[in-house]
Structure 1
């Protein structure tokens, strides 16, 4: 469970051993993922009830673009 505050941003990071499934429970979240091979950065906006999948490897970050607290469920699979 992640609880990003208003206008907060998670640090950029990556997961090398599992895909990351993220579901928005509250708030509006902007997600970003970019591959190391120079491919374009992919942006998604998640509203409550929506989800995204970050595959193994890309650098990713998320930002609460709302003025209220957000809530996310984040789960990783394993290799």
Structure 2
């Protein structure tokens, strides 16, 4: 089963990479971009056909390794 984990910074956490991309886009003439947030997508292949069990397993992975829960949120897409 393919699972995607989307990790991004929590609201209020500074995103210097997002600010740098935003500035670069403006300097390239893309004036309509109001804000940029940078995150990561982690794609997992899980050997489990039970969606609920797979989701619980991936939640544990996120809490233990994949996301820094102090400054990041995550979403799981199965």
Question: What TM-score, normalized to structure 2?
Answer: 0.38
Structure showing greater Rg: 2
Higher strand share: 1
Higher helix share: 2
Question: What TM-score, normalized to structure 1?
Answer: 0.38
